[in-house]
A and B are shown apart, each in its own frame.
Chain A
Amino acid sequence: MHPWVGAGPEDRRHILSELGLKSIDELFASIPAGVCVDGLDLPPARDEDWIRHTLGEMASANVAMDSIPCFLGAGVYRHVQPSIVDAVLSRAEFFTSYTPYQPEISQGTLQVIFEFQTLISRLTGLDTANASLYDGATALVEAALFSHRVLRGKRDLVVVAETIHPMYRQVLDTYAEAAGIEVAVVAPGDDGRLDPDKVRRTAGDRACCVAVQSPNFLGIVEDLPQLAAAAHDGGALAVEVVTEAVSLGLLAGGGSFGFDVVCGEAQSFGVAPGFGGPHLGFFACASKHLRQMPGRLAGETVDEDGNRAFCLTLSTREQHIRRAKATSNICTNQGLMALAATVWLEAIGGSGLRELATSCLARTEELKRRVTAVGDPWRLAYPQSPTFNEFLLVGPGSGTELVERLASEGVLAGVPTTDWGGSWPDGVLVAVTERNPATDLDALVSTLEKLS
């Protein structure tokens, strides 16, 4: 007997006798003997205390980000976490429910999705957004395939900036060959920013999309208006990838500059770092391309009495209706994380988000100033380029060595670029958020001085 199995031995006997059976084995008689086993070689059941203790020990074998000054970013950021986010997520009405296919008893989830779509739409500057994708990396893949479809499969080239998160590009490479697309990479200039002319030349007239990230992998803000024009000149769609969604509190989303798709990772909006998942992929596009959009959508309608109600809509794009001709195979998405982002954004508020993003910017500028003041052998890789809340720091050694040396002094200084390749210097990507008080900056700067 186990508390998570609803029927005990006596219940089972009663039901078996109602079914006219002697043993539960009879219910499995249709399984051929050749594939059967009698039980599994797994440990016995454990009580809650054992579980708490054992998993607690595994958790303690890790170093939580909150326990030391931490400047890790590179696609996963630590921002304020209002306690109400987890309180809402912990409501069984949200976390134990299924995809809202029965709208009459799912208005809560549906309205949340509708609000999420609206928030993402307003932040990206595009008029539609879906109800989530797996993560930022797969959102880039979906954007490439979306562009391929929008241009009717006539253009197989996808142009991506080298300064898109290298992991996102690796994931795109995994899917590209099977999807029949070719990927061309454009390196940044000496200032870490893309040269629109170089983008234009690479895309020529055979690209279905040009994808750029801003702020890019190096933390640098790109010239979005010029890049949108460079993509459109050759007839390609312009795709903006965002890995630090909080930047949208201060920087206008690509939609405002003519980008056709803005997609990426919204983990920054109230989702725990969680060793990389579950996070929150998002995808926004212009409504004229709505029918090519992947993933679920909630729409507004009315009930039989004419009252406002919401339901999932345009499911004719999706796998359960369209099967082999669906826009994507995605079914289960990151719904609960979309709820987290919605609660987080609504709690922080419009002005609050701007204030929060400005706080990240101010702290980053202060740290850049102080690192520059430390001087040799430490320097900013791109001192002249505008950044939001992340920058590349170069020092006496490879990024990996530097991170290890700084970690041994009790500071998690950032993410080494050593193993990612790329045309930029080998250094440390340092991310600063509103969670890094001045004392964190002091700790990092004094450690840099010590290692000078």
Chain B
Amino acid sequence: MKRRAIRSEPLFFERNSRRVRRQGYLLPALDVPEVKPSEVLPPELVREPDPHFPDVSEMEVVQHFHRLSQLNYAVDEGLYPLGSCTMKYNPRINEETARFPGFASLHPLQPQSQIQGALGLIWELEESLKTITGMPGATLQPAAGAHGELTGILMIRKALEARGEKREVVLAPDSAHGTNPATATFAGFSAQEIPSADDGTVDLGALDRMMDETVAALMLTVPNTLGVFEHQILEIADLVHSRGGFIYMDGANLNSFVGRALPGLMGADAMHINLHKTFSTPHGGGGPGAGPVTVSEALLPHLPVPKVIRGEDGFELQWEDPASIGQMRGFYGNFLILVRALTYIWSLGAEGLRSMSDVAVLYANLIRHRLNGAYHLKFDAPSLHEVVFDDSIQARHKVHNVDIAKRLLDYGFHPPTMSFPLIVHGALMIEPAESVAPDEVEAFCDAMLAIAKEAESDPELVKSAPHDTPVGRVDEVRAARYLKVTWTPEETE
């Protein structure tokens, strides 16, 4: 990384210190009579002008954001091997189709005859996701993976209610994403942890003991957060179903088996799909994503409304459905993200989707092969799309996973996911995804091996990293201790 030249950019609020009026945008001319706000609105509700909200010229705004952009790492820059996040290439054709005026400038409450193309697109994507998962129903409403989890768990709650049952517990393995237990709580359940067996998969004996009539569902990530497939998945599903529970599948790791296996065959009752992972929609610095949920026959009646129905006179939105859990958010989903995902699925086609997963798994195994030994592999079960090492070899020299991550920045790579899953102390969770060339994967491995050597020969170099980034190591403890989450004028003037 060679960004030392740009170290900092003033805040917007520190610009235009003379507080003079500049013009950032020319508004449409007022071609109706002027009004005085305080004569039309209750004067006590009208705000005073804010002297600390500057007006700047257009180029100042462009320069501001251009400079800020230079302080960011991006998928387009190099490998972004965040485990559990599937940082793949974001195709530019997706961005083009999502900006078609017929999609971007469409109001969600236009008459049904004016939105047929949009409803058709939702229907097509639902069909594609049903095929990809082998499950009979889908909703595209959820805004993100965690929102999909909540949708699924609320459907399970509703199904139990329809059976006249009240179950209070949701189980998830100790290797689960934090969203799983958080979702269980959010949906009014008590979250309980199942310990993992020695190979990192679900301990079937423990499940057998915990799975009783109080348990509503088991939330399971497949393959799990170690990148290991639950080889006893059918036994697990049988056990849970035979005792009246449901299987919620966390689809964060779907990128590892598209075209090779079907969650519908694994016994999943509900599964969210992170379109911003497997189906290439951009992560956007934190969002927006989309978390469609596919469901089994058992949960079909409880899908959220509105549903898109294909009728004789075209597509329609169905709002009335007493068995439904209701509506999960405003309108019909992160629609422009759905446009991108369908663009991706149609572009790749059946064979392309399968080769996507094949290469994602191949790359993860190449990394595993090259780094094993230099880094410690706690669980040596076969890896699919990601591999989790730990820092126990480097810790002998007091070099920890965080130090390795920061040193990787100097080599021009984004670090892996750190300290997750929780069952691996000092974890380095690596998921390369399929998009980059093999050379990029090899270069990442070279960097990781070089750091492993540095940890032995010059541990201080690693512990004091990063050395070549726009800012040095950031004091995160201080940020939490002396909370400052907005700019305030007093301190600078």
**Please, which residues of chain B bring their CB within 8 A of the CB of A365?**
35, 40
Q: Interface size of B by Cβ–Cβ distance < 8 Å? A: 206
A-B contact pairs, 15 of them (CB 8 A): A4-B434, A6-B359, A27-B384, A32-B234, A35-B233, A46-B347, A51-B343, A62-B115, A62-B117, A72-B107, A80-B28, A92-B90, A105-B469, A275-B118, A301-B475
Query: Is the CB–CB distance between A277 and B42 below 8 Å?
Result: no
Of all chain B residues, which has the CB nearest A48? B93
Contact A102:B349 (CB < 8 A) given known A296-B286, A329-B186: no
Q: Are B49 and A354 in contact (CB under 8 A)?
A: yes
B101 touches A275 (CB 8 A): no
Q: Known A28-B260, A352-B23, A365-B35; judge A277-B331 contact (CB<8 A).
A: yes
A90 within 8 A of B: yes
In the complex, what residues of B have CB within 8 A of residue A350's CB?
A: 49-50, 52-55
Contact call B187/A178, Cβ cutoff below 8 A = yes
Are B131's CB and A104's CB within 8 A?
Answer: no
Name the residue in B261, B319, B436 with the highest tally of chain A Cβ atoms < 10 Å from its Cβ: B261
Nearest chain A CB to B162's CB is how many angstroms away?
Answer: 14
Is A330 in contact with chain B by the CB < 8 A criterion? Answer: yes
Judge whether B392 is part of the interface by a CB distance below 8 angstroms: no
Chain A residues with CB under 8 A of B48: 252
Supposing A70-B107, A174-B327, A296-B286 touch, asked if A314 and B319 sit within 8 A by C-beta, the answer is no
The answer for the CA separation of A391 and B406 in the assembled complex, in Å, is 55
> Could you mark each residue 16-43 of chain A with 1 if its beta carbon is under 8 Å from any beta carbon of chain B, else 0?
1011000010011111101111011111
Question: Which of A194-202, A230-238, A376-384, A430-438 lies at the interface?
Answer: A430-438
Taking a contact as CB atoms closer than 8 A, the residue among A134, A352, A415 that contacts B147 in the complex is A134
Main secondary structure of the interface of B (DSSP, over half): loop
**B259–A104 CB distance below 8 A:** no
Q: Is A422 an interface residue (CB 8 A)?
A: no
Query: A39-B351, A128-B485, A331-B145 are known contacts. Are A347 and B61 too (CB-CB below 8 A)?
Result: yes
Asked if A277 contacts B261 (CB within 8 A), the reply is no
Chain B 283-300 interface mask (CB, 8 Å, partner A; 1/0): 111111101000000000
CB distance from A441 to the nearest CB of B (A): 7
Q: Give every chain A residue within 8 A of B344 (Cβ-Cβ).
A: 4
Check: B134 CB closer than 8 A to any chain A CB: yes
In the complex, what residue of chain A is closest to B305 when comparing beta carbons? A170
Q: Kindly state the separation between the CA atoms of A103 and B181 in the bound complex, as whole angstroms.
A: 27
Q: Which of A5, A48, A129, A301 has the most CB of B within 10 A?
A: A5
- One of A30, A175, A346 near B381 (C-beta < 8 A): A30
B350 within 8 A of A: yes
Q: Which of A256, A310, A321 has the most CB of B within 10 A?
A: A310
**How far apart are the CA atoms of A27 and B131 in the complex, in Å?**
23
Query: Which residues of chain B are near A287, meaning CB under 8 Å?
Result: 483, 485
Report chain B residues within 8 Å CB of A224: 45
In the assembled complex, the CB of B424 is this many whole angstroms from the nearest CB of chain A, namely 15
Taking A328-B182, A388-B41 as contacts, is the C-beta distance between A299 and B483 under 8 angstroms?
Answer: yes
- Of B206-214, B239-247, B332-340, B454-462, the one touching chain A: B332-340
